[in-house]
Structure 1
Amino acid sequence: MKQAIHSFSFQRLFSCLFLSSSHAFPMPPRTLSLDLGRTSNYVCKSCLAHLRPVTNQPPQWLARQASTARSLRSRTRKPATELKDKDPDPAEIQRMLAEDLFNGSAAQSNLDIKYFSENIKTSERKSLQTNEEFSEDSTGLDHEVLTSIEDLERRMLDTLKLINTMEKEGKKEKAAQLRKQFKTTIRAQYKGKVGPEGETYGVLRIKGFSGPRYRVVEDLNIFLAREKVLEKGVPSHKDLAECWKFYSSARKTLALDWAKVPREVWDFLFMVLSFDSCDNPNRMQHTYVLAKDMQAAKVPLSDSQQLLAIEAMFIEGWETEAIDAWKKAVITIGSNKETFTPYYELGVRMCALHGDVERAQQAADTLLRSSHPPSPRIIIPIVRALAAKESMLGEAWERYQDMRTLLGGSMTIEDYDEIIGSFLTVGAVEQGLQAFVDMMFSEAIDIRGRDRLPMVVGNHFFTGKWLKRLIGAGDLDGAYKVVTYLQQKGIITAPVQLNGLIAAWMRSGAAENLEKADKVAWQMIQARLDFVELRKRESIANDNITLYNPKPNAINEKQELKNEVEPKCLTRATAETFSLLAENYCSRRLHERLEELFRVLDQAEIMPTTFLMNQLIRSYSQANETKKALNLYSRLADEIGVQPDGHTFLTMFNSLSVNRLIKRIPTFTEHDVASARKFFKDMVETRWEFDTPELFGQLPRTILFSMFKAKDWVGAIVACRAMRRIFGFHPTDALLVELMSGIGSLQVKTKRNTLRLTEGARIIENFKHGYRKDLIKQGHPGEEMTPEELVEENHAVFEQIVYRKAKVRQVVPEDLNKWVGEVSKEMGVYDIVVKGDQEAISECMKFDRQAIMR
């Protein structure tokens, strides 16, 4: 008994320890919770102490049938006089009971065992009839056992406190390892014990498949036994993916004997694979396959599982079969109060999608007239199905009005969006606009059937809000239908709104949307050209007669040849329209289209913008037409007066041959030195500021690497000193290592590049070590360096890198320092680098000091 109680307490305390961790471990079975339906080898001390000497006739509870094992051997009875002289042997009684329990003969015999509890002082006996009474009486412990349990509890609580302390001190790995050790011990002891009760819950497992041939089943069992599956009740993306991976691999093997798969495993797989989450995009397909397997295994599905299986069948393409199964389940699932509402909601959705609008309306009416809480939003699928048929558009509008009446003030913006989308999808823009008006205005404003929209609706502000909402929701086709409808009503969409639609089409990346964006943008350009030509004619005419051009300029002649009956866009293009097309053509490397766009820009009498200039220069650089890029830059910047910005100079530095060509050509490299110095001079003299952190990181890095590649060592020193003052630029440790080892060392991860990086870092450390030794010689205390001193150190190390690189080319540092003044004049930073003129520095500064201080 002491051993049993000790085992019970040890298991109970370990379960308490595991429940305090992040993953609660199932409670092991209680040893003392005896089931009276089974025999046991336990005999209480009270019964053994008060057993009376036996008579010649054995008691009835000993006159039992022979078990299977005991019937194989003969048993000889001792004389009655011998039994009378001595008490029964308790060990013999326990052995006999255990033998019966093992062979199962007690369940087949008429053996009647009764348990009693006796008070030692009063000699009063009490019969124990139920498990609860036996458990309650069995909790009495003697002093020795109680002391052992208390000592064990104290040690386990100390261990728990130690683990919590280790976690607080940051030793989470050791604490997790200790918990895992205990879990493994208990897990191995109770592995495979599965049941609905919490006491007997263990590891889900499919038995009966062992050996190398059934490795896939073993992999599934390993997944089912994981501790972290369904952490906090929600499966992770990895759990969802691996659950289907292991189950799909084991399906063929399990099909050999479906009966070996426990019901608990089926329910667990169904719960995981049918989990509704954005991380489970193939939810319905997996649910459909699993439901078919459960049907093959003759495992009955619950009502909720049947509903989900029917929906999965419908989505997987078996629409008729799914609707037939839904009809058959009306008596079972449809009459259950727990599944009544989801049953009819599923029927409404399926029938509406299948085109059986009449049956969908019947199901919706049944649901709305029932005693269950109605959900008027179930009418939305019916509205969508009715609106798909032009002849039933009026009925769809009536059903929408019914839903609006039922919902009242609880109708949300999302509900209106569903209704508007249903009408716009089928081209019923007028009904969609009326629904949007109902959403925006509390009073009733009816716009249907009018040739002219009321002023509160027919204006750019109101329609602009609708277009913005449609574009933001991703309904781009619906937004374009709205644009066409408004134009028919005499409302020309504002360019900023139509440019937003074009940009959204381009961002989608779909070929169809790109074609639509290109088509609408060129129609806007054509409208701009027509406007410019009309303006010229009006300026020539002596009177104020408005002339109409019967032959507009046809930029896209293909549209005329198609003779498509489509409304012509009347919104005129702006500089933003050209910028959108230029960026799109440049990213798609359509250089010829970009050149055509730039030629039309002049005809449209729109001034080139900096953004357009940057895109065209970039396109010329991609097409290896560097001379045209330089000529364009010079013409736009010097002649037309387009103001370059930081992105312009970043594009110009990237257009140098050292940044484009793999093999360096000496003549090109010499030309790049002069070009880089000129770009730097223009960059310093032009007024602009950094607008993005990305530009601040890319531009200085590109300048320094361009000069390193072109072997312009003096230009690199001058550029770094100048950028420190006008950019606030300071080389980082990572940039220094990259400059020392070469730009190619970070592009591809190879063994050679790794060695180059390691060697470059070692050289940088040597430079810093030497710099700090010189500081100590000059009187530095040698303690921790201030941020300003670290910045000075990195600039000194940068120049040491330049000297080292130049020395390889037989250029000594003294010669480099002699040329700094001359090169700084060429680069336009003599007053900044050599003289240190604060006024010149302030004029050329490219960042906002106050913004940086904030």
Structure 2
Amino acid sequence: MPPKSLMVENFICKSCLSALRKRTPAAQWAIRHSSSQSSQATTSTPSSRLSHEKDAERRKTLEALGLLKKSKDGKVSVNYFEQGTGGRLRRLQGEDEFGQSLMDPDGEAENRLKQLEEELEQATQFTKIVEDMWGKEGAEKLRKRVALQDTHRDESSIKPTVLLPNEAWPRPQDRLHIFQLNNMIRTIGWKVNYGSVNAKRINGLWKYYFAARKALSKKWELVHADIWDLLWQILAADSEHNPNRMSHVHILAKDMEEAGVVLRHDQQLLAIESIFVSVSKEEAITAHRKLVTTLGADPEAFVDFWQLGLRMYCLIGELARAERIANILIDSPYDKDPRFLLPFIRLCTENPATVEKGFELYQRLRSALGDSITINDYDLVISYFLTSNETEYAFNIFVEMMTSNTVNVHGSFKIPASVASPFFYGKWLKRLIAAGDLRGAYDVLLYMKSRGVRPQAIVVNGLIGAWLRTGMAENIRKAEEVAWAMINSRLQFIVIRKDMHSLANWVRLRPFGEGWPTANLETFSLLAENYKDRGMHNKMEELWGAIREAEIDPDSFMLNQLIFSYLKDGQGKLVASISRDLIAKYQIEPDSWTFLALWQALPINRLVQIPPGQLPQEVLRTRSLFADLVKSAHIFTTTGLDVQVARYVLHSFRKLEDKFGLLLAYRALRHIFHFNPPDIVVLELHVGSMDLEKTGKGKNGHRLMHTGNQIEGHLRRRHGELIASGQISPEDDLPEEVKREELSNFLDTFLENQVYMFETEDTEQCLVQAAMEMGFHGGVPRFKATPEIGE
């Protein structure tokens, strides 16, 4: 019977159609031909018998429907019908037409084939365009990139992206730009779904859109609304990944207006802001005025519209107009964040005539915010007043912030003692220094002194250090002025203390001056480090004279700054004597930096060449310095010896060709200071150079390569020995600690071979002599060639 639904086009019952689809080619062929041919089918198996029975039953069904007739010659003929979309039945010519109808019910196969051919032809043409512009390699890279993006795209979870029609632009260059833009839109559309649009994607989208603008301007009507929405969503996003946001918005909004797109309220306001930032302030204000009767009266856009106008007028300094807009917002019934007053407060603080109004607006803001006011709000308003040199207003706000608005000192002549204290001001100074507001911190210092409050030295030192770290000439000048004012205050204190000994007990002397705190060791250290870094040795000597007069004992840091200053000034020959005298006088304990300066100050490390007659004296000097280092070994028990110090120690002996001293120094560094040299130091000592890069480019480059091969061979051999002994498994690499130890053993063997290469009768005697001169009173250090793992 015919189906009830018109959606089925072939007028054959479901059971017959199912059987036709499931039948094997042989069975289909049998049912389409005579019954005699069908009877020839084999019936030897159960499956064939079952198939024959189904065919017979199906023929009965077709006969009952009038669809199966027998011809005169006994052959079976089947009539095929097709139901069209209008419900009419059409008889098919035969089984060939029935097969075509069955495979292509809609008759669209030919049209789809033509469409595929056209797309293939377009792809071929585009490939030729790309090859003409970028060559075959460029075209291949583009195909791979597109294929890679397609493989990573999950089409089932991505919202379909509307693209520009590629065939609408006849010029090859335009088609290329449209293709690139489509590809980026497709990629961005996929990224947006997962929220992972970074700066690279945003810049790429802008790059391809800007390249395609010329072509798009000819046919704006082809740009779908979804494309404009996507472009705006990405290019107008307020994100750290979009630093060129305003310039993007300005051009995009202009293109959308040319295309006839109606901008939303928020888009119009952002477009005006982009004009103000990127193009012209006057043009933006004019555009804003034109929308007063529309957006300015729209309840949905009212607050945003007038807040934008307030910000623009405040930035250009139009106080009267800004005040009118502020009053409009204040009087409006719409919900708004009271922080819209912040730009207007800043504008008021810039003029002494309106600074009081700015403070009143702050109080109004504080009242409106209530408990929701934050520390950042206070800091922002305080910075406005400090920038305008209105420190007293800033102090009043800081007091309210620190006391939760329980103490009001505005207009008061007498300030509570809890507020007028160095400790309270110190909190403010620390906040300003930490925030980087050094100018504001300096103004607070001056304000403190004007109120008769002497700041703490530790806080002023913090400001001096912050000034010096900026490296700016003006800040360095201020730092020196304040630091030397503190030094003078200390010197004045020393003079008063001495004079007090010769006066009666009831007589008291008070310091006079600008009220700066007295300098301490930190103040001197800050200046010393700065003078050393800047190479101002004359200032350094003046500073050391002042620290002696101030009767402040220097520490190792101050000592290091002084001797490095001498070294930097080309007076390295004085370093040893100065450091020795100061260490003895002030009982200073040297550190790694002290010994680094002493080893760098040796003539062998300062001079290009040592006269041959002075070599024995320099060898003795170097051994004596190493003996001093051994005496100070307890200093390095916790921190360890610095690698650079050990490096200069070893290379000093190498340059002097003191093979005995070099071997003993190396073994002492290992056993006394627990120093294992890094691979770079092993290479340097083996090759005999402190500049491996220069050595590798010179004539001795082969030595560097040969040494590297020797080290690798030694490590491979030891690795095999440890595997053979069962200490590590074959699949494990050489442990890092074992590798360091083996490198140390390799260098020790090399240095020992250098000593015993030309062994004479007095070799052992020379070693003993060197050991005594280097401070090894217990004998010559030895070492074990191949220590076991874990030792």
TM-score by length of 2: 0.71
| 1:649 alignment partner, one of 572, 577, 595 | 595
Tell me the residue number matched to 1:743: 690
Alignment of 1:34-183 (within 5 A): 46-47=83-84, 51-52=88-89
Q: Which moved more, 1:541-550 or 1:819-828?
A: 541-550
Query: 2:596 aligned with 1:635, yes or no?
Result: no
Task: Give the letter aligned to residue 587 of structure 1.
Answer: D
Q: 1:490 to 1:739 in 2, by over 3 A?
A: same
Query: 2:446 aligned with 1:484, yes or no?
Result: yes
Contact 1:284–1:315 (CA under 8 A) maintained in structure 2: yes
Query: 2:708 aligned with 1:761, yes or no?
Result: yes
Query: 2:164 aligned with 1:208, yes or no?
Result: no
Report 1 or 2 for greater relative contact order, CA contacts < 8 Å, sequence distance ≥ 6. 1
Contact 1:657–1:668 (CA under 8 A) maintained in structure 2: no
> In the TM superposition, what is the alpha-carbon distance from 1:663 to its structure 2 partner?
7.0
Alignment of 1:271-310 (within 5 A): 271-292=233-254, 300-310=262-272
| 1:599 alignment partner, one of 532, 545, 555 | 545
User: What SS class does the counterpart of residue 330 from structure 1 fall into?
Assistant: coil
In the TM superposition, what whole-angstrom CA distance separates every residue of 1:385-410 from its partner, at most 9, and x where no partner exists?
11111122221111111111111111
Alignment of 1:411-560 (within 5 A): 411-442=373-404, 444-542=406-504, 545-546=507-508
CA distance in 1, matches of 2:303, 2:591: 63
User: What SS class does the counterpart of residue 390 from structure 1 fall into?
Assistant: coil
Contact 1:525–1:572 (CA under 8 A) maintained in structure 2: yes
| 2:668 alignment partner, one of 712, 719, 722 | 722
Q: 1:279 to 1:602 in 2, by over 3 A?
A: farther
Query: 2:525 aligned with 1:579, yes or no?
Result: yes
Tell me the residue number matched to 1:198: 159
Tell me the residue number matched to 2:59: none
Contact 1:673–1:712 (CA under 8 A) maintained in structure 2: yes
| 2:748 alignment partner, one of 789, 799, 803 | 799
Contact 2:457–2:518 (CA under 8 A) maintained in structure 1: yes
Contact 1:420–1:432 (CA under 8 A) maintained in structure 2: yes
Task: Give the letter aligned to residue 570 of structure 1.
Answer: W
In the TM superposition, what whole-angstrom CA distance separates every residue of 1:299-347 from its partner, at most 9, and x where no partner exists?
5544323322322332347223222322322344444555444333322
Equivalent residue pairs, number: 665
Task: Give the letter aligned to residue 826 of structure 1.
Answer: E
Task: Give the letter aligned to residue 744 of structure 2.
Answer: H
Q: 1:369 to 1:49 in 2, by over 3 A?
A: closer
Contact 1:467–1:479 (CA under 8 A) maintained in structure 2: yes
Tell me the residue number matched to 2:339: 377
Q: 1:697 to 1:814 in 2, by over 3 A?
A: farther
CA distance in 2, matches of 1:669, 1:412: 72
Contact 1:204–1:225 (CA under 8 A) maintained in structure 2: no
Instruction: Report % sequence identity.
Output: 33
Q: CA RMSD in A?
A: 4.7
In the TM superposition, what whole-angstrom CA distance separates every residue of 1:239-275 from its partner, at most 9, and x where no partner exists?
3455556666777787788777766555545444443
CA distance in 2, matches of 1:200, 1:601: 75
In the TM superposition, what whole-angstrom CA distance separates every residue of 1:133-182 from its partner, at most 9, and x where no partner exists?
xxxxxxxxxxxxxxxxxxxxxxxxxxxxxxxxxxxxxxxxxxxx999858
Q: Which moved more, 1:601-610 or 1:475-484?
A: 601-610
> In the TM superposition, what is the alpha-carbon distance from 1:462 to its structure 2 partner?
1.3
Tell me the residue number matched to 1:828: 775
CA distance in 1, matches of 2:230, 2:311: 28
Q: 1:412 to 1:543 in 2, by over 3 A?
A: same
CA distance in 1, matches of 2:170, 2:603: 67
Tell me the residue number matched to 2:677: 731
Task: Give the letter aligned to residue 602 of structure 1.
Answer: R
CA distance in 2, matches of 1:672, 1:257: 86
Alignment of 1:339-378 (within 5 A): 339-378=301-340
> In the TM superposition, what is the alpha-carbon distance from 1:603 to its structure 2 partner?
2.5
> In the TM superposition, what is the alpha-carbon distance from 1:587 to its structure 2 partner?
1.6
CA distance in 2, matches of 1:667, 1:214: 83
CA distance in 2, matches of 1:360, 1:653: 68
Task: Give the letter aligned to residue 529 of structure 2.
Answer: E
CA distance in 2, matches of 1:246, 1:662: 60
TM-score by length of 1: 0.67
CA distance in 2, matches of 1:515, 1:262: 62
Query: 2:285 aligned with 1:323, yes or no?
Result: yes
Contact 2:166–2:175 (CA under 8 A) maintained in structure 1: no
Contact 1:740–1:760 (CA under 8 A) maintained in structure 2: yes
Contact 1:384–1:422 (CA under 8 A) maintained in structure 2: yes
In the TM superposition, what whole-angstrom CA distance separates every residue of 1:712-769 from its partner, at most 9, and x where no partner exists?
4333332333233443322344543454354322589969898665433311133345
Contact 2:162–2:227 (CA under 8 A) maintained in structure 1: no
Q: 1:433 to 1:540 in 2, by over 3 A?
A: same
Task: Give the letter aligned to residue 714 of structure 2.
Answer: F
Contact 2:566–2:575 (CA under 8 A) maintained in structure 1: yes
Alignment of 1:669-680 (within 5 A): 673-680=619-626
Query: 2:635 aligned with 1:686, yes or no?
Result: no
In the TM superposition, what whole-angstrom CA distance separates every residue of 1:644-689 from its partner, at most 9, and x where no partner exists?
1122112222334555567787678766644443333223323764
Tell me the residue number matched to 1:75: none
| 1:625 alignment partner, one of 552, 560, 571 | 571
CA distance in 2, matches of 1:53, 1:774: 91
Task: Give the letter aligned to residue 678 of structure 1.
Answer: S
Q: 1:478 to 1:717 in 2, by over 3 A?
A: same
User: What SS class does the counterpart of residue 455 from structure 2 fall into?
Assistant: coil
Q: 1:755 to 1:443 in 2, by over 3 A?
A: same
Q: 1:772 to 1:93 in 2, by over 3 A?
A: closer
Q: 1:624 to 1:665 in 2, by over 3 A?
A: farther
Contact 2:646–2:669 (CA under 8 A) maintained in structure 1: yes
> In the TM superposition, what is the alpha-carbon distance from 1:222 to its structure 2 partner?
6.0
Contact 1:376–1:406 (CA under 8 A) maintained in structure 2: yes
CA distance in 2, matches of 1:753, 1:247: 56
In the TM superposition, what whole-angstrom CA distance separates every residue of 1:511-558 from its partner, at most 9, and x where no partner exists?
2222222222222222222333333333344565455789x9xxxxxx
Contact 1:205–1:224 (CA under 8 A) maintained in structure 2: no
In the TM superposition, what whole-angstrom CA distance separates every residue of 1:180-233 from its partner, at most 9, and x where no partner exists?
85854799999xxxxxx9345458989738546998777666655556866842
> In the TM superposition, what is the alpha-carbon distance from 1:496 to its structure 2 partner?
0.5
> In the TM superposition, what is the alpha-carbon distance from 1:441 to its structure 2 partner?
1.1
> In the TM superposition, what is the alpha-carbon distance from 1:589 to its structure 2 partner?
2.1
* Structure whose CA Rg is larger: 2
CA distance in 1, matches of 2:690, 2:224: 61
Q: 1:798 to 1:607 in 2, by over 3 A?
A: same
Q: 1:538 to 1:200 in 2, by over 3 A?
A: closer
> In the TM superposition, what is the alpha-carbon distance from 1:467 to its structure 2 partner?
0.6
Task: Give the letter aligned to residue 369 of structure 2.
Answer: L
Q: 1:390 to 1:789 in 2, by over 3 A?
A: closer
